[in-house]
Chains A and B, each alone.
Chain A
């Protein structure tokens, strides 16, 4: 019986570690007034990586336990349909502007990151990882996995993009003279996914609703656009 106790305890330890570190990271983030630079995921990643390096544990061992958390990303991605459906009425009323703005925004986010990265001569593997960086993490991870990018890096790029978008947004809105909360929220949700949506909700419920809407549709659209763009640019 010893074998089973040993076998079950080790993966469980990594689940407990991940959970407790994340709870701590949320506390840190609250103390920092919700700063996107100290996002709970970034803080958790940092602490856990330091712990693993310090104890000489490799990622594979950690993931034997952590995969039980990771597995839930699939159903959570499907669940994104629920908030999207909540906006059904709004989508029907403004489908044309929503479609045009989402298409332009998603395409610009993707093509611009790829062109700049290609200019610097980054390897294909990294280009494929950068392509889905402006969509919500679960979808980005799925896309990166599908097209041959590095999933863990994709998650990191998405988080960094989100933090950047929130920090840049006030400046961009001032330059364009945008006062409408619907427009602000929409741009935030498109360019900075969940981070942008969270910060849009701090502005107003209207901004938050448009951000969530933009995030959902952009995620869907990007999943279909990335393979096409990657093929057109001749990557991979």
Chain B
């Protein structure tokens, strides 16, 4: 990391904000019910793919933010206090629904990915053999 001094945190932050802003604009214009920041993430992904690398200033600010990602959602989480009654009324069905779904997601993803990875491998092998 010899070029640390050239790294400008603000440049990276500006890129993230502009991507988010364009994402919000796209959502507003199209009416697609997808969060603006998710479109912003897609835009940044495309930008990185075009550049074929991650510029140091974008990496620096991104990794900094992601390192403290958990901290950022504490304020939203505290909002649970407003819904104490709803939670008290429905905690059991909510817990069951979450447990069943988490189990199924884990189980099926592992099974499908194992199968699909085998297919991918045999596809690659067939390609190599035919080449």
- In the complex, the answer to whether B108 meets A77 with C-beta atoms within 8 Å is no
- A-side residues, CB < 8 A to B, are 18-19, 21-22, 39-42, 44-45, 48-49, 52-53, 59, 62-63, 66-67, 69-70, 72-86, 88, 93-94, 96-97, 100-101, 104-105, 108-109, 112-113, 116-117, 120, 122, 126, 130, 133-134, 136-139, 141-143, 145-147, 150-157, 159-161, 164-165, 168-169, 172-173, 175-176, 178, 180, 182-184, 186-188, 190-192, 194, 214, 219-220, 223-224, 227
- In the complex, the answer to whether B98 meets A80 with C-beta atoms within 8 Å is no
DSSP majority for the B interface? helix
**Knowing A126-B86, A187-B110 touch, does A94 contact B66 (C-beta < 8 A)?**
no
Give the distance in Å from the alpha carbon of A151 to the alpha carbon of B81 in the complex.
12
State the Cβ distance, B73 to closest chain A Cβ, in Å.
5
- In the complex, the answer to whether B73 meets A138 with C-beta atoms within 8 Å is yes
Question: Could you say which of B32, B65, B74, B108 contacts A104, with CB atoms under 8 Å apart?
Answer: B108
- B-side residues, CB < 8 A to A, are 13, 16-17, 19-20, 23, 32-38, 40-45, 48-49, 54, 58-59, 61-63, 65-66, 69-83, 86-87, 90, 93-114, 116-117, 119-120, 123
Question: Could you say which of A83, A96, A153 contacts B120, with CB atoms under 8 Å apart?
Answer: A96
DSSP majority for the A interface? helix
- In the complex, the answer to whether A142 meets B35 with C-beta atoms within 8 Å is yes
Across-interface contacts of B36 in A (CB, < 8 A)? 74, 142
